[in-house]
Structure 1
Amino acid sequence: MSSLRAKIQDVFNEPACEQNRGKDAKARKEGCSKPLTPGAAAGGCAFDGAKIVLQPITDVAHLIHAPLACEGNSWDNRGAASSGPTLWRTSFTTDLTELDVVMGQGERKLFKAIREIKEAYGPPAIFVYPTCVTALIGDDIEAVCTRAAEKFGLPVVPVNAPGFVGSKNLGNKLAGEALLEHVIGTVEPDDAGPYDINILGEFNLSGEFWLVKPLLDRLGIRVRACIPGDARYLDIACAHRARAAMMVCSTALINLARKMEQRWDIPFFEGSFYGITDTSEALRQISQLLVKKGADPEILGRTEALIADEEAIAWKKLTAYRPRLEGKRVLLNTGGVKSWSVVHALMEIGIEIVGTSVKKSTVEDKERIKQILKDDNHIFEQMAARELYAMLSEHKADIMLSGGRTQFIALKAKTPWLDINQERQHPYAGYDGMVELVRQVDLAIHNPIWRQVREPAPWDCPAAVREELPSTKSETATLHAVQEFAGTTADDFGEC
């Protein structure tokens, strides 16, 4: 546990974070997240955050050393996609019971589980996650993993991020520490080149990265490792030979990017693949970093040619949507990098942003929002469900973009809603992704169902309107059925 405390303190002291550098020594030790209330998930624990970062590594077996419920609550918690291996979709757990805890059988059971996975599936590596229970009873996960690696001849990686140590964001960073300590740099590639890059903090949600990778391929840029989206263990092990890196979600893996720059001289920048302008700027910065690291400067010209072609195609496709969406008002209830990248993307086609949350956003994210919106009144840290409902029911927004947790607020307010978080079904990254995002917003706003649900029910309308309604047999029968279900009669409906 002493080594875990040291890792946590090291993660809290993040030199690459401007907000962290501005704190005094005491405040820096407390980290960026609010302390958790005992017994409360608080939006996700450290174990959940570690699984989010590492589970998309698709050919690895992810073994949870804990009672069954820990894995059941965290499995498949993101809509990441794989282009090949499916082992990451298989749930492995030691299923620790009360008897195992009392009899001290946890470490023995873990070693046995590692052996069974190796024999049955033969993965290139096994990641082992302790949780609150196994950390509290003192199971020596690192010792078991070291012994199993020697015995079975494959990497067995301990991921020390039990839930009680902190928030989901802390678990993200502890997962990055596990990769640095046990994975990255353990294999030397024989094909390293001047156009190799890493993409950090990209989760390939709904296959989004597959819309970006072809652009890089056309420039001759190879993604040495995308961490963690659609990743392979061997790619991550060789990631230290990349020439440059792009950070997509700094709140999750800023520590990984900084330490890779320190150890292997891999410069990085933070960018976004949401929106036409941001996608173009990301491609430019990648090319510029590669040139600084020794690549042929001719790549800069090819990048500008690619950007010109792709922007022309995307804007032509978006022309049809501008008259239908220009002036429409959007409420964005999300956080992190999406709090500014999606804002910029939507404003490019004339959509008005009436509010955006900055929950889980860094200081840099908030500064970008201020520069884009030029008005602090549209920025809120967190809005209560009651306030969201009031804003939507008063028609201050034409659509809300958020995660699944708040969709029913919009539906109750009879307002269009679009999923923008990890559970979404459509990819929104890159040029094609921007067109898809605008298309989905257009479909949601102009769906005829909203006009219908906002109309009064036949039995609630004035008598004069009721007389004009068609009185088919089926509609009459439906009305009687509703009355019977509600325990009412026709006289209870007054004028209607």
Structure 2
Amino acid sequence: MSSLRAKIQDVFNEPACEQNRGKDAKARRKGCSKPLTPGAAAGGCAFDGAKIVLQPITDVAHLIHAPLACEGNSWDNRGAASSGPTLWRTSFTTDLTELDVVMGQGERKLFKAIRQIKEAYGPPAIFVYPTCVTALIGDDIEAVCKRAAEKFGLPVVPVNAPGFVGSKNLGNKLAGEVLLDHVIGTAEPDDAGPYDINILGEFNLSGEFWLAKPLLDRLGIRVRACIPGDARYFDIACAHRARAAMMVCSTALINLARKMEERWDIPFFEGSFYGITDTSEALRQISQLLVKKGADPEILGRTEALIAEEEAIAWKKLAAYRPRLEGKRVLLNTGGVKSWSVVHALMEIGIEIVGTSVKKSTVEDKERIKQILKDDNHMFEQMAPRELYAMLSEHKADIMLSGGRTQFIALKAKTPWLDINQERQHPYAGYDGMVELVRQIDLAIHNPIWRQVREPAPWDCQPAVREELPSTKSETATLHVVQEFTGTTADDFGEC
């Protein structure tokens, strides 16, 4: 545990983090995350965060050394996609029981599980995740993994990030440290070139990376490794031979980007593939970094030609939606890179931003929002469900873009809602993704169901009764029956 404690302190003391630069050494070591309350998940534990970063490595077997419930807690909880291997979607766990814990059978059971996976699946590597239980009882995961690697002749990587050590974001960073210590730099490619890049912090949710990669392919830029979205173990092992890197989500893997720059001289920048302007700017910065690292400057001209062509196509498609969406008001309850990149993307087509969450955003993210919105009145660190409901029910927003956990607030307020977080079903990256995002917003806002659900319920309004008296005996009898069962008279009926 002493090595884990040192690793955590190293992660907290991250010089590339904007929030750390203004702190003294003592404050920096404490980190940025709020302390966890015993018994509270605080939005996800370190184990959950590590698995989120590493599980999209699609050809690796991910083995959870813990009771069964730990694997069921986080398996397949994000919409990452694979273009090939499906092993990452198979759940592996040692399924420790109380008897295993009492009798000290954890390490023996782990070694046996590694052997079974090797014989049945033959993966290029096995990642082993301890959790709170196995960390507390003192199972030596690193020793077992080292022995198994020697015995079976394949990398067995210990992911030492048990849940109790901190938050989900800390687990993200510890996963980056695992890749640095055990994976990156362990293999050499035979085809390294001057146009190789890494994409860091891209999870390929709903296949979003597949909308950006064709743009890079047309420029002759090869993605050496996308970490972690749709990744392969060998590609990550060779990631140290890339010439440049783009950081998509800095809150997750900023330590990975910074240390790769220090060790292998791979410069990086933070960019986004959300929105027309930001996608174009990302392509420009990638090309500029490659030129600085020795690539032919002619790529700059080809990049501008590609941008001009793709922007013209995208704006032509978006023109049909502008009259329908211009002036519509959006409440954005998300964080990270989406807190500013999606804001910019939506404002490009005339949509008004009434508020955006910056809970998981860096200082740089917040500065970008201020520059885009011209003030910080529309930024909020967190908003209680009651406040979100009040804003939506008072019609201060025409639609809310958020994650699945807050969708019911919007539905209760009878307001359109669109999922933009990890559970989303549509890719929104790149030029085509921006068009799809606008199309989905248009479909949500103009769905006729909202007009229907906002109408008064049938029991809240009563039909008007004709002023003249019933002309037949049957009509008179019917009116008497209604009065008998409801206790009303003809004078009680009014218009809805």
Query: Is TM more than 0.5 here?
Result: yes
1:399-435, CA deviations, whole angstroms, 9 ceiling, x for partnerless residues?
0000000000000000000000000000000000000
- SS of the equivalent of 2:467 reads helix
Contact 1:458 1:466 in 2 (8 A): no
C-alpha displacement of 1:376: 1.2
Deviations 1:175-197 (A, max 9, x none): 00000000000001110000000
Q: Tell me: CA distance 1:471–1:348, structure 2 relative to 1, closer, same or farther (3 Å).
A: farther
Structure-2 change in CA distance of 1:30 and 1:466 (3 Å): farther
Deviation at 1:32, TM superposition (A): 1.1
- State whether structure 2 residue 254 is matched by structure 1 residue 254: yes
Checking the alignment, whether the CA contact within 8 Å between 2:464 and 2:493 is kept in structure 1 is: no
Residue 470 to residue 34, structure 1, CA distance change in 2 (3 Å) = farther
- Asked which structure has the greater CA Rg, the reply is 2
Contact 2:18 2:362 in 1 (8 A): no
Match of 1:359 in 2: 359
* 1:18 CA displacement: 2.0
Note the C-alpha offset of 1:219. Answer: 0.1
Cα distance in 2 for partners of 1:473, 1:206 equals 66
Q: Distance in 1 between matches of 2:434 and 2:474?
A: 44
Q: Deviations over 1:141-176 (max 9, x none)?
A: 000000000000000000010000000000000000
Give, in angstroms, the shift of residue 466 of structure 1: 11
What SS class does the counterpart of residue 187 from structure 1 fall into?
A: coil
Output the CA distance in 1 between the equivalents of 2:239 and 2:390: 48
The structure-2 alpha-carbon separation of the partners of 1:475 and 1:209, relative to structure 1 and needing over 3 Å to count, comes to farther
Does the CA contact (< 8 Å) of 2:464 and 2:494 recur in 1?
A: no
Deviation at 1:298, TM superposition (A): 0.2
Measure, in 2, the Cα distance between the counterparts of 1:100 and 1:298. 63
Give the Cα–Cα distance (whole angstroms) in 2 for the partners of residues 478 and 156 of structure 1: 81
- Runs of 4+ aligned residues of structure 1 deviating over 6 Å after TM superposition are 465-496
Which segment is superposed worse, 206-215 or 478-487? 478-487
> Residues 483 and 158 (structure 1 numbering): CA distance in 2 closer, same or farther, change over 3 Å?
farther
Cα distance in 1 between the residues matched to 2:356 and 2:140: 44
Alpha-carbon shift at residue 377 of structure 1 (Å): 1.1
Instruction: Check conservation: 1:196, 1:221, Cα contact below 8 A.
Output: yes
475-484 or 434-443: bigger deviation: 475-484
Output the aligned Cα RMSD: 3.8
Shift of 1:12: 0.3
For residues 230-270 of structure 1, the C-alpha deviation after alignment (integer angstroms, 9 at most, x for no partner) is 00000000000000000000000000000000000000000
Mapped partners of 2:381, 2:107: distance in 1: 43
- How much has 1:458 moved relative to structure 2? 2.1
Give, in whole Å, the separation in 2 of the partners of 1:471 and 1:358.
68
Q: Please state how far the C-alpha of 1:480 moved relative to its aligned partner.
A: 17
How far is 1:459 from its partner?
2.4
Distance 1:416 1:145, change over 3 A: same
Identical aligned residues as a percent: 96
The answer as to whether partners of 1:460 and 1:493 remain within 8 angstroms in 2 is no
Alignment TM-score, normalising by the size of structure 1? 0.95
State the TM-score, normalizing by the size of structure 2: 0.95
Structure 1 residues 164 and 470 mapped into 2: Cα distance closer, same or farther (>3 Å)?
farther
Deviates more, 1:20-29 or 1:403-412: 20-29
1:26 deviation in Å?
1.7
CA 1:145–1:477 in 2, change beyond 3 Å: closer, same or farther?
farther
Q: 1:200 to 1:471 in 2, by over 3 A?
A: farther
Alpha carbons 2:198, 2:223 under 8 Å: kept? yes
Contact preservation (8 Å) 1:459, 1:493 = no
Gaps of 5+ in 1: none
Aligned-pair CA distance for 1:463: 3.2
Please report how far the alpha carbon of residue 494 of structure 1 lies from its aligned counterpart in structure 2 after TM superposition. Answer: 8.6
Length, aligned pairs only: 496
Shift of 1:479: 17
Contact 2:398–2:415 under 8 Å retained in 1: yes
Q: Is the 8 A contact 1:246 1:270 kept in 2?
A: yes
Residue 132 of structure 2 is aligned to residue 125 of structure 1: no
Deviation, 1:483, is 15
